Chains A and B, each alone.
Chain A
Amino acid sequence: MRTGRFLWLKRSSAVLQKDLRVEFRTRYAYSTLMMFAVTVLVTVSFSVGGMMLESDIAAALLWIILFFSAMAGLSRTFVQEEESGTVVALKLAADPEPVYLGKLLFNIVLLFSLAVPVVPLFLVMLNLSVAMPFSFVQVVFLGCLGLSGASTILAAIVAKAAAKGALLTVLAFPVLLPLLIGAINATRSTLAGVPAEVLRPDLSLLLFYNGVAVTASLLLFEYVWNE
């Protein structure tokens, strides 16, 4: 007999599979994310020229690119449901929590598939070396997780609004500010190379933020979804 927990996972996985299948066939969200990220990356690279960037500036630039790319593409998961009218069929068939989890997992996959080529490209194009590579990967991983977590619930909130794109960025900025500050600090530390205890508070902040973002979103999503 299936338990309730496994049923939840099965339902979330159905949402994830459907979104991946649709995205694979249309490549709408991924193209948006990728084109935005590469355009900004090339612009930044040309602007900086051959200059050697300080680690704090490089860290800020990396997260600016990831933040705005995320804002450009992560809202699609809910906006598409609203615009195509499929949201009614989905609401009638699915409980809110599996929908949120499925969409969150989809956004995580989407953002990671962006970060995997863009972050190394960023390092190469800006001629940066990473003093603590393992910690750097950890920071990018946790930062992207937090970006996806908070953006997913915000995307659900703005999906019904008229000016969705602009609204998501404006709403997301204050919500994501603690995450961005922590991610920028931690990235700067990993680029420059610092003792592990200096990095730990920022990593803890990222972990804590992710936990709070996902838990709060799971609790609030039902109200957003049914509104």
Chain B
Amino acid sequence: MVQASVAVNDLTKAYRYRRLFSGLSFVVEHNTVFAVLGSNGAGKTTLLRIICDLVPPTSGRVEITTDGRQFDAAERRAILGLVSPDLELYGELTALENLEFFAGVRGLAFSREKARELLEYVGLKGRGHDFVFTYSSGMKQRLKYAYALYHEPRILILDEPTSNLDSRGVALVEEVIRRQRERGIVIMATNEQREVSYADRTLSLA
């Protein structure tokens, strides 16, 4: 079984007039759900974006390893999945076309069967041919889970994982987190007590 880990070493992020965090260090091991807590503006989303290599840190680094081998930025894309309010999918494409496109740019063979099963899993059964711009915010959030899970990532990054979701959606997230814990790592940013209860470890940003 491939073992993944995320090591954050002496990480600092500062904008011109404000330091978000400094000297942040932690390691998230395989089969762990790790929750980042903190008030609005504490830097939770920024920390997740740095881990995903979407934002550069001011100093320090993030090392992602599987079975002792470090991954560079390009390789990280294959093992990371992200669900975030900042992330949008293409409204002018259908859900299936979105999944087909992202499989294509990842260099994966697209399986319509797998995509349909995934859409059913996230609660979008029978809506695969609808344009995404016709979706409600909750349905868009469900589709983001399909996007993040299609390539079976080792590390799942969740920013406000249950935002816009109804009670069945919340149960879906719980199920996704439970499955992902068995497969690898979940790192999430949240302040919801229910989501924090899924976590094995927490980190509080001041």
A interface residues, Cβ below 8 angstroms from B: 2, 7, 10-11, 13-15, 17-18, 21-22, 25-26, 84-86, 88-95, 98-99, 226
Q: List, sorted by A's number, 27 A–B pairs whose CB atoms are closer than 8 Å.
A: A2-B107, A7-B107, A11-B104, A11-B105, A11-B107, A13-B104, A14-B104, A14-B105, A17-B101, A17-B104, A18-B90, A18-B104, A21-B97, A22-B92, A25-B92, A85-B86, A85-B88, A86-B88, A86-B90, A88-B84, A89-B89, A90-B105, A92-B77, A92-B80, A93-B105, A94-B106, A98-B105
New contact pairs (12) apart from A18-B97, A21-B92, A88-B86, CB-CB < 8 Å: A7-B107, A11-B107, A15-B105, A18-B101, A18-B104, A22-B92, A86-B88, A86-B89, A88-B87, A89-B88, A92-B77, A93-B106
List chain A residues, Cβ under 8 A from B147: 89
**Contact: A95 with B54, CB < 8 Å?**
no
CB distance from B70 to the nearest CB of A (A): 18
CB-CB under 8 A from A11, the residues of chain B are 104-107
Q: Tell yes or no: B93 within 8 A of A by CB.
A: yes
Q: Is the CB of A89 within 8 A of B102?
A: yes
Q: Are B89 and A94 in contact (CB under 8 A)?
A: no
Main secondary structure of the interface of B (DSSP, over half): loop
User: Are A93 and B54 neighbours in the complex by a CB distance under 8 Å?
Assistant: no
Docked Cα-Cα span, A11 to B101, in Å, equals 9
Q: List, in ascending order, chain A residues with CB within 8 A of B77's CB.
A: 92-95
Which residue of chain A lies nearest to B104 when distances are taken between CB atoms in the complex?
Answer: A14
Distance, CA A2 to CA B53, complexed state (A): 27
Q: Which of B84, B97, B101, B102 has the most CB of A within 10 A?
A: B101
Nearest neighbor of B151 in chain A, beta-carbon distance: A93
Q: Which single member of A13, A84, A92, A99 contacts B82 (CB below 8 Å)?
A: A92
The residues of B with any CB-CB pair to A shorter than 8 Å are 52-54, 73-74, 77, 80, 82, 84, 86-93, 97, 101-102, 104-107, 147
A21-B97, A91-B54, A92-B77 as given contacts; A84 in contact with B91, CB under 8 Å: yes
| A23 nearest CB neighbor, chain B only | B92
Q: Is the CB of A95 within 8 A of B90?
A: no
A92-B54 contact given A10-B107, A21-B93, A98-B105, CB 8 Å threshold = yes
A10 to B106, CA, bound (A): 9
Expressed in whole angstroms, the minimum distance between the Cβ of A70 and any Cβ of chain B is 23
Contacts A10-B104, A11-B105, A21-B97 known; A92 to B52 CB distance under 8 Å? yes
Tell me how far the C-beta of B122 lies from the nearest C-beta in chain A, rounded to whole angstroms. 16
Is A88 a contact of B93 with CB atoms below 8 Å? no
**Complexed CA–CA distance, A25 and B91 (Å):** 11
Query: Nearest-CB distance from B174 to chain A (Å)?
Result: 24
Q: Given that A92-B77, A95-B77 are known contacts, is A26 also in contact with B92, CB under 8 Å in the complex?
A: yes
Q: How far is the CA of A22 from the CA of B131 in the complex (A)?
A: 11
Q: Are B93 and A18 in contact (CB under 8 A)?
A: yes
Q: How far is the CB of B158 from chain A (nearest CB, A)?
A: 13
Do A95 and B74 have beta carbons less than 8 Å apart?
A: yes
Chain B residues near A14 (CB, 8 Å)?
101, 104-105
Q: How many Å from the CB of A26 to the closest CB on chain B?
A: 6
B75, chain A: closest CB distance, angstroms: 10
The answer to whether residues A88 and B54 also contact, given A22-B93, A25-B92, A95-B74 and a CB cut-off of 8 A, is yes
CB distance from B56 to the nearest CB of A (A): 8
Asked if B107 and A89 sit within 8 Å, CB to CB, the answer is: no
Residue of A nearest to B102 (CB): A93
Task: Give Cα distance in the complex from A72 to B69, angstroms.
Answer: 47
- Enumerate chain B residues within 8 angstroms of A7, measured Cβ to Cβ: 107
